[in-house]
Structure 1
């Protein structure tokens, strides 16, 4: 069955669901509210499905396969909804009071409860399908074809004008059009003005790369501040260009739908004096904790360029989220109850994978996916577990040049692919490396233990600093045991002796410890992320992964990782 046939089947089922819901409108106020939600949700879903059917001829085989599967899921969702609604109608009919009026109040209450719970279930199922659908839907906006522009213009006519910033839930075509515009615009043609530095009240988020800030103490509006350090030898012009492009794209995001905060602007902080960094004489830090080495490939800005010490993204905190509700994932891993529910952990994993997917849809690589770069919203339902990916201090455009510099810090290298570890990474950064980092984070979430530890006030005065902890020492013990067993002494060099051994260690932990805690499906997802560049990885086309285009990689990620996470039920 092709996209058009699936679409027609879904339309028939959806219309039958609405017919049943319409008969419930006048039974109770709470029931009627839910009927209105079902109507509006189905209206948006139907219009998006119509759009897909009209552009089906220009979709390639990979995207067509994904869309076919999504429409098949929608058909099953609507069939289940229709059958459940019909069952409730039959139950309500059998529960009607007798001719003498006995039991009328009880029968009415039972009917109300059944209808309310059933409509809640239908709404949740439709929202879950939309969450699975949206990454592919927005990826369609990257297809360079005038048919999409024409159909998008037609579809937006039927969409009410958004009040304030459009959201993916209420105005999917407006958000899609905005995303399409910024993705298709050449970086050199993007107009974006930096804001001047101003005094702000700023506070740390524990174990996070970002801060919260506001302009005045009596200002109720708080923002997330995410700083990109330029460094004394960085390419200011290139970083400034990438900051402008990313800020323009993130200004189009819907935080809850994308897992990426909406950008209000960027503050450019000029350099007032040279920045130097030197260690105390004779001081030597342990492996994986030494500072970054200067890169031979770096170059200073030209005299006619503006020289900045950093760029500071200013992100809006979504409506309904208070500053006190924000926690870093690192804080949770270090301090939370070890018996956190499977539902909440799975929700976090799905949301984080979604955020990584959208970074790639925007044609960027994040380069810093780790728990310090993840904000979690406390106080929302466990099945949602909203998280936002921040920490853009190392990002760059997917096709842009990169400074091939690194460091030996454990707290960074444990999240890096082996080819990206050490002072001189062996390979230019690409999307697969973000996917590897995601796999390490998903392993931490599944085991619910932190791979990085921090100093306490009793150990070091001042703010907490990353330190070598249990996971590092356990890895060193595992490494020595492996060398003794295989006869290797580490003389093959850093990559063979340490970097790839660290990957092997994480893979072994996934196989040995993750499945009993999170199930075989979740463990398979983590393994696929950690081995995304291995020859035998089927989700990312094995040996061909290195040569795959960014869009092909994004499709593999949606089909192999996000779909697998969505199919896990607890």
Structure 2
């Protein structure tokens, strides 16, 4: 199909979805006089549709700016929406009849008898819940690629996603705010500083075990403090600008979607004796709903083998982590330091897992920013780096592919529920976990060859051990992450094939080959 015809077909798809969505909304109106439980379900369906309609209507106005690969992806996602809306309409028609004028409540009453009425209400509630579940799943499918609009450098997006559209939809306003943060970074213009005043104080500061992050409390709520040291080879002005730009972007994220906390600001850390700046503390706000939960690093959880968590909770943890990488990438930077030490989980109780958030931004950079091509020789850190990104002088510039590789290793640990890095009680001694047979490779002279061998061991562990523990879909997803830079990887292929100015192609592939797959898992 030629580009013009494809664009026309997609716009028509949006129109069809909007028409069916409005039909669904009208059918919900027929339940106004229904019992409270049914009424709440229909309101939930209507709320979902209003959000969806705002987003796909906005998508239609910026369609030409998306680029071919993202257009193809969105077209497939819209086709799924069309099917779900039609199924929802069919369910409503089975409940209330096709375009009948009689009210639902009158039909319930006419069925004579409390038992029949209750049976009907139960059946109706199950049908409505199924519609809600379908719309929720579609929204989760759509949101990752929707937020790519935040990083596409095309003026038409700024022109279309403003004013009334932004006010009506939180999803649209978040994209607008992210784009404005990037624009402020590029122009160096802002009305307020992201750096906190010298008098800003953190009370009740406590370290998080097996993590460089710590917790504390400001005057209003609990926070997480993430320290970024100034590297010796880095110009201080450049470091301050990079941290400022990162903090501005992170101040606009949506914690419920992104797996990232909102950054309140940055504290300049100074040497007490010289007053020289030695680093920066990013202050992340812990949402009120997580305030009473205990923050633990994923490393701490993996190391504590006394508590066994249910399979469904581990799957939820893995999916949440996989999703956070999409939103990180949509915010236009790469993390470069993904490991269980930098994944914080707020536990609702000691025997339950929670949703993870990413910290540990000490090595971050913007996707289009400078890279220092520097590293270290610490095996416990190199373990989470692709073989070509290990050592003091890595072979390749850092890209999103390398974050995907790191995520793959974390997903492998979650699947096995075993820590690949074990610390002594005083954390001075570090050795490979019992499930990771790489001790002989750590001290070998040829570390480049050793890195390749370690990767092969990890891939083999995923292929041989994960299917029995987590299922084939999970195992294949982990392998796809670990081999994302391999030329024979059918999902990602050659990295050069996915290079584009806005960095969209690899993100779309990740959504389709990793995120969509792992979210298929039902426990």
Cα separation, 2, equivalents of 1:105 and 1:510: 55
Q: What are the equivalent positions in structure 2 for 1:3-42 lying under 5 Å apart?
A: 3-42=10-49
Give the deviation of 1:13 after TM superposition.
2.6
User: Paired residue for 2:457?
Assistant: 505
Deviations 1:26-72 (CA, angstroms, capped at 9, x unpaired): 22223222322221220110121112222223332101111011111
Give the deviation of 1:365 after TM superposition.
1.4
Structure 2 CA distance for partners of 1:68 and 1:321, relative to 1, 3 Å: same
Match for residue 211 of structure 2 among 187, 196, 208: 208
Structure 2 CA distance for partners of 1:239 and 1:383, relative to 1, 3 Å: same
SS of the counterpart of 1:265? Answer: strand
Structure 2 CA distance for partners of 1:333 and 1:88, relative to 1, 3 Å: farther
Cα separation, 1, equivalents of 2:247 and 2:232: 23
Taking structure 2 as the reference length, the TM-score comes to: 0.87
Give the deviation of 1:183 after TM superposition.
2.7
User: Paired residue for 2:225?
Assistant: 225
Q: What are the equivalent positions in structure 2 for 1:518-537 lying under 5 Å apart?
A: 518-537=470-489
User: Paired residue for 1:237?
Assistant: 237
Which deviates more from structure 2 when the two are superposed, residues 318-327 or residues 439-448? 318-327
SS of the counterpart of 2:279? Answer: strand
User: Paired residue for 1:172?
Assistant: 171
Work out whether 1:470 is the aligned partner of 2:450: no
Deviations 1:351-375 (CA, angstroms, capped at 9, x unpaired): 1122112222222111111111112
Work out whether 1:57 is the aligned partner of 2:64: yes
Contact 1:95 1:107 in 2 (8 A): no
Which deviates more from structure 2 when the two are superposed, residues 193-202 or residues 386-395? 193-202
Cα separation, 2, equivalents of 1:66 and 1:40: 25
Cα separation, 2, equivalents of 1:43 and 1:355: 25
User: Paired residue for 1:74?
Assistant: 81
Deviations 1:5-27 (CA, angstroms, capped at 9, x unpaired): 22222223322322332222222
Cα separation, 2, equivalents of 1:116 and 1:383: 29
Q: What are the equivalent positions in structure 2 for 1:182-197 lying under 5 Å apart?
A: 182-187=181-186, 189-191=188-190, 192-195=193-196, 196=198
Work out whether 1:308 is the aligned partner of 2:277: yes
Cα separation, 1, equivalents of 2:280 and 2:68: 41
User: Paired residue for 2:509?
Assistant: 556
Unaligned 5+ runs, structure 2: 1-5, 98-103
Work out whether 1:444 is the aligned partner of 2:424: no
Taking structure 1 as the reference length, the TM-score comes to: 0.81
Structure 2 CA distance for partners of 1:193 and 1:95, relative to 1, 3 Å: closer
Q: What are the equivalent positions in structure 2 for 1:107-506 lying under 5 Å apart?
A: 107-153=116-162, 155-156=164-165, 159-160=167-168, 171-187=170-186, 189-191=188-190, 192-195=193-196, 196=198, 198-200=200-202, 201-215=204-218, 219=219, 221-273=221-273, 307-335=276-304, 340-379=309-348, 386-456=355-425, 460=426, 464-465=427-428, 467-471=430-434, 474-476=437-439, 493-496=446-449, 498-506=450-458
SS of the counterpart of 1:564? Answer: helix
Give the deviation of 1:501 after TM superposition.
0.8
Deviations 1:256-306 (CA, angstroms, capped at 9, x unpaired): 1111111111101123348xxxxxxxxxxxxxxxxxxxxxxxxxxxxxxx9
SS of the counterpart of 2:34? Answer: coil
Number of paired residues? 504
Contact 1:47 1:155 in 2 (8 A): no
Structure 2 CA distance for partners of 1:35 and 1:220, relative to 1, 3 Å: same
Give the deviation of 1:197 after TM superposition.
5.9
Structure 2 CA distance for partners of 1:384 and 1:204, relative to 1, 3 Å: closer
Contact 2:268 2:281 in 1 (8 A): yes
Deviations 1:220-251 (CA, angstroms, capped at 9, x unpaired): 51111111011455432222111000100011
Give the deviation of 1:139 after TM superposition.
0.6
Cα separation, 1, equivalents of 2:26 and 2:468: 45
Cα separation, 1, equivalents of 2:342 and 2:327: 15
Give the deviation of 1:194 after TM superposition.
1.7
Contact 1:227 1:311 in 2 (8 A): yes
Which deviates more from structure 2 when the two are superposed, residues 466-475 or residues 199-208? 466-475
User: Paired residue for 2:101?
Assistant: none
- Give RMSD over aligned pairs: 3.0
Cα separation, 2, equivalents of 1:538 and 1:80: 33
Structure 2 CA distance for partners of 1:547 and 1:117, relative to 1, 3 Å: closer
Structure 2 CA distance for partners of 1:473 and 1:536, relative to 1, 3 Å: closer
Structure 2 CA distance for partners of 1:454 and 1:147, relative to 1, 3 Å: same
Deviations 1:393-418 (CA, angstroms, capped at 9, x unpaired): 22122232233332222321111111
SS of the counterpart of 1:441? Answer: helix
Cα separation, 2, equivalents of 1:190 and 1:51: 27
Give the deviation of 1:97 after TM superposition.
7.3
